[in-house]
Chain A
Amino acid sequence: MTIIVTQGTVDPNITAKVVVYHGTFRATNFGLPIIAPTVGAEVIYSFAIIFCSLMIYFGTRELYELSTYKGLKYFRCAFLFLAIAYIFRLPTISLAPGPEITSLIWVYISLFAFMYFSSMAIFYLIEGVLWKNLKESSKISYLFHGIAIIISLATIIFNNPFFYLGLNVILFISAGIAIYLASHNHKLKSKKNYFHRLYILLLVFLVLNIFSALVPIFMDTLKLFLYLVSLSVFFVILYRVLKKSGD
């Protein structure tokens, strides 16, 4: 197997290589042809996520302003932070870093911001369903911010695919358990509601998106499929939000 180490965009005709790209590893092998999404598709996908997230954020503004309900605040924050994360994702997919130090710094800043805001989006989603079970939710918020900063810094410092994998698996398992437990309590108290399944699906794709943006070694051939499924989940949530909020 030939290993080519280079910098810049990936040539889709080469099936076995490791590329140092934007400070993270982009690689593919297994002898399979790469069906990687183009930069254009990635940009469209990012804009679609930003658009859906902002629609959800602004679509629930009136309900929050009237109720000042904490759960709604966390729900809205999750989508606002997700939109910001995907804004910071744009430079990392559309710009190839040059040799100059300013370009490299910009890539690291974008990567840090993407990791921070996307981690916080996950944490807000968890807090939105868990806050009623937390005695001191404001302190938990600070803790989540701290963890998100540590995750972002660690992502840059330990440029290691296994670190990302471990981190995302831990993040997903904790979030999944938290949402399931909160939903289970909720179901006991009120009518049957299976929206937690959509939350868990959303979490799966958020984590996979973060992971694929950082270490696309397993993901390049599946990326387009992943993006389509992610968008479908987002459109379902957007539809239900707009329908329920009456906008």
Chain B
Amino acid sequence: MAKRGRLEIMENTLKIIKENRNFIRPTVLLRKSKMSSINFKDYYNDLIKNGFIKEVFDDNDKKHVSLTEKGTKFLERYKVIIEFIDEFEL
């Protein structure tokens, strides 16, 4: 998959979390992201590893996902990143 595609998928995934009041079950995230489970697992692990999202547990000890500060920053700057890549033909 092209790198530009990777950025778009990252943005889409993070946006879903943000739109769900920054608190979403991984299974719901998988369903809403419309990715195959294998692809989702790769992106999910990548987002955690790079510090864009974090796993949190509710009172019933159920796993949820929320954005980190870096994830929020990525969403804020996504448009700038894409425009920069287009401008300099990278």
Which residues in A have some Cβ–Cβ distance to B below 8 Å?
60, 62-63, 66-72, 74-75, 128-129, 132, 182-183, 186, 190-191, 193, 195-196, 199, 240-241, 244-246
Contact = CB atoms under 8 A, between A and B. Distances in A.
Does more than half of chain A's interface fall in helix, strand or loop, or is it mixed?
helix
Interface residues of B, number: 18
17 contacts: A60-B84, A63-B77, A66-B73, A67-B74, A67-B81, A68-B50, A71-B85, A72-B84, A75-B90, A128-B88, A129-B89, A190-B86, A191-B86, A193-B86, A193-B87, A193-B89, A195-B89
A72 B88 CA distance: 9
A60 B90 CA distance: 13
B80 interface: yes
Contact of A195 (B3, B74, B87): B87
A70 B81 CA distance: 12
B87 A240 contact: yes
A246 B86 CA distance: 15
A93 B50 CA distance: 44
Contacts of A246: 77, 80
